[in-house]
């Protein structure tokens, strides 16, 4: 029985209805259908857990797809709930459209569907960024648009080369044909595909669009960009490399090894210098892309499971922290120093943000520590202890800018008389902090790790 495809249908149809109603009537009109769509999507996703894998219209619904669908829905839930403070129905609809495309992207079984889903994911977000009322929203949208076009061009050329070399666009069928094709053509295809994906996941030096785009975006949209679209890019990278091109592991594992080092180091060092909160979170997100790439550098099934665990932790934390940035922006707090003394009037908000920042830094016993511990341990077991040493040093560097923001909130002076009023957004921040505490609780963390292991196992069936 086909059931997984309904998740894509509901998200796309619900997002379209929400967007149209908001445009034809008013922003508040779209809120109800958006929330109904989100609720139905959760029901479908939960019902898919434990079902046998299925192939539906070229989309594969298995443990891997279910894993990422949960991540996308968590981030979308954070964003939509926070938008209830302003009743932004049109942006809610665009967010749902993009989320539906993300599910289709992760479930795609062939390269052509991946290309279409990538653009279906990106276009609503470009429109949403352009609609934002932030000072730099138009500039951010233009940069996002230009770089997405570049990414699409690179991906299309790489897919064309790989399809012509292998004689197929279906991921599981590419292996046989590509192994017998000229090595130079397949490697060239891989380079183009890697470069196109590197733009999407903001691998240094292909990250240039990200800080400006995040800063100029409406924060809930920035949370989707940082916590969902980047993870969708990683999901595609895992599938293409491990299902279609495992015989080139000698090439792409080293490629991700060196780019992981460059990305995590550059991201952390640049984050130290950022006074603007959203730009600091953007560079933090770049650094975490480097950590996630460590699993591909190690290229073992347990290491990939560790990367997936890092993905779910980072998605929750980054998604919630961008909502925290929205809470501050609603009161005119944009740079880190603006938050000075905020703990006097909003102690729980300050505590929740501190918990999440320390979790990103990998401080025990939080979820971020557990995910880094698992990932780093598996990378050592894969024969790359020196890569783990570099990652640990980078994690230590990150404490500097994470502690700076949290310390500022507990320092006297500044605008300490400001009372935060974005109730729904504050609720999201508190939920994010609670989730990272739960993910650091070993029995529950092991359950999530088991889910990551099952998802990773679907990539190693050849």
202 closest CA partner among 225, 235, 236: 225
Listed range (11-25, 136-150, 234-248, 411-425) with the worst mean pLDDT: 411-425
3-state helix, strand, coil split of the chain in percent (to 5) is 80, 0, 20
pLDDT at 239: 92
pLDDT at 377: 92
118 closest CA partner among 7, 232, 25: 232
CA Rg value for the chain = 21
Q: How far apart are CA 358 and CA 347, in angstroms?
A: 16
Any residues with CB less than 8 A from the CB of 133 and at least 6 apart, and which? Answer: 218
- Are the CB atoms for 438 and 444 separated by under 8 Å? yes
User: Token pair of 46, please?
Assistant: 């939960």
User: Token pair of 393, please?
Assistant: 């040093």
Q: How many CA atoms lie within 13 A of 212 on its CB side?
A: 15
> What is the number of other CB atoms lying within 10 angstroms of the CB of residue 275?
12
Classify residue 179 by burial, with Cβ atoms within 10 Å: 0-12, 13-18, 19+: middle
pLDDT at 64: 93
3-state DSSP assignment of residue 168 = coil
pLDDT level of residue 52 (50, 70, 90 thresholds): confident
98 compared with 181, residue with greater pLDDT: 98
pLDDT at 10: 92
pLDDT at 121: 92
Listed range (70-84, 202-216, 243-257, 395-409) with the worst mean pLDDT: 202-216
> What is the number of other CB atoms lying within 10 angstroms of the CB of residue 412?
9
Looking at the chain, how many residues does it have?
462
Average pLDDT over residues 379-400: 92
Q: What is the DSSP string of 315-382?
A: HHHHHHHHHHHHHHHTTT--BGGGGTTGGGT-HHHHHHHHHHHHHHHT-TTSHHHHHHHHHHHHHHHT
3-state DSSP assignment of residue 273 = coil
pLDDT level of residue 31 (50, 70, 90 thresholds): confident
- Are the CB atoms for 212 and 145 separated by under 8 Å? no
Average pLDDT over residues 410-424: 73
> What is the number of other CB atoms lying within 10 angstroms of the CB of residue 24?
9
> At residue 454, does pLDDT exceed 60?
yes
Any residues with CB less than 8 A from the CB of 121 and at least 6 apart, and which? Answer: 98, 101, 102, 105, 229, 232
Q: What is the DSSP letter of 272?
A: T
> At residue 414, does pLDDT exceed 70?
no
pTM exceeds 0.85 for this model: yes
pLDDT at 461: 55
User: Token pair of 305, please?
Assistant: 């499971």
The continuous run of DSSP H or E covering 55 comes out as: strand 54-56
- Are the CB atoms for 121 and 102 separated by under 8 Å? yes
pLDDT by residue (tens digit) across 258-298? 999 999 999 999 998 888 888 999 999 999 999 999 999 98
Q: How many CA atoms lie within 13 A of 158 on its CB side?
A: 24
pLDDT by residue (tens digit) across 306-323? 999 999 999 999 999 999
Mean per-residue pLDDT of the chain: 88
Domain ranges of the chain: 249-462
User: Token pair of 442, please?
Assistant: 């070993």
CA angle 260, 121, 320 (to 5 degrees): 65
* H helical segments located in 410-441: 423-439
Q: Is the dihedral of CA 392, 394, 400, 405 positive or negative?
A: negative
> At residue 184, does pLDDT exceed 90?
no
């Amino acid at each position: 029985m086909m059931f997984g495809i309904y998740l894509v249908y509901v998200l796309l149809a619900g997002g379209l209805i929400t967007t149209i109603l908001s445009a034809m009537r008013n922003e508040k009109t779209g809120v109800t259908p958006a929330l109904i769509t989100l609720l139905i999507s959760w029901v479908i996703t939960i019902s898919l857990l434990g079902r046998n894998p299925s192939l539906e219209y070229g989309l594969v619904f298995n443990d891997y797809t279910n894993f990422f669908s949960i991540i996308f829905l968590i981030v979308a839930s954070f964003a939509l709930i926070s938008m209830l403070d302003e009743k932004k129905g049109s942006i809610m609809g665009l967010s749902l459209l993009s989320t539906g495309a993300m599910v289709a992207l992760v479930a795609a079984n062939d390269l052509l569907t991946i290309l279409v889903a990538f653009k279906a994911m990106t276009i609503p977000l470009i429109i949403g960024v352009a609609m934002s009322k932030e000072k730099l929203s138009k500039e951010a949208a233009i940069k996002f648009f230009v770089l997405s076009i570049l990414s699409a061009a690179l991906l299309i050329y790489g897919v064309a080369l790989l399809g012509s070399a292998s004689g197929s666009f279906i991921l599981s069928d590419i292996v046989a044909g590509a192994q017998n094709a000229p090595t130079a053509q397949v490697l060239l295809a891989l380079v183009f595909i890697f470069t196109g994906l590197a733009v999407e996941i903001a691998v240094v030096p292909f990250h240039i669009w990200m800080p400006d785009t995040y800063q100029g975006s409406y924060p809930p949209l920035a949370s989707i960009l940082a916590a969902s679209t980047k993870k969708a890019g990683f999901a595609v990278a895992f599938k293409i490399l491990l299902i279609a091109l495992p015989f080139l592991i000698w090439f792409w594992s080293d490629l991700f090894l060196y780019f992981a080092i460059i990305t995590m180091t550059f991201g952390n060092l640049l984050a130290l210098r950022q006074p603007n909160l959203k730009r600091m979170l953007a560079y933090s997100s770049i650094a975490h892309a480097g950590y996630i790439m460590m699993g591909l550098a190690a290229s073992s099934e347990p290491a990939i499971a560790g990367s997936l665990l890092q993905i779910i932790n980072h998605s929750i934390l980054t998604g919630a922290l961008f909502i925290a940035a929205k809470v501050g922006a609603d009161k005119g707090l944009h740079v880190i120093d603006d938050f000075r003394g905020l703990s006097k009037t909003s102690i729980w908000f300050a505590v929740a943000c501190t918990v999440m920042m320390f979790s990103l830094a990998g401080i025990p016993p939080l979820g971020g520590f557990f995910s880094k511990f698992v990932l780093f341990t598996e990378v050592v077991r894969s024969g790359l202890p020196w890569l783990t040493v570099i990652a640990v040093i980078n994690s230590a560097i990150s404490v500097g800018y994470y502690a700076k923001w949290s310390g500022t909130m507990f320092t006297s002076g500044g605008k300490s008389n400001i009372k935060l009023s974005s109730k729904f957004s504050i609720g999201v921040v508190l939920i994010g902090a609670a989730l990272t505490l739960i993910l650091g609780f070993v029995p529950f963390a092991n359950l999530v790790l088991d889910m990551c292991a099952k998802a990773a196992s679907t990539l190693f069936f050849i």
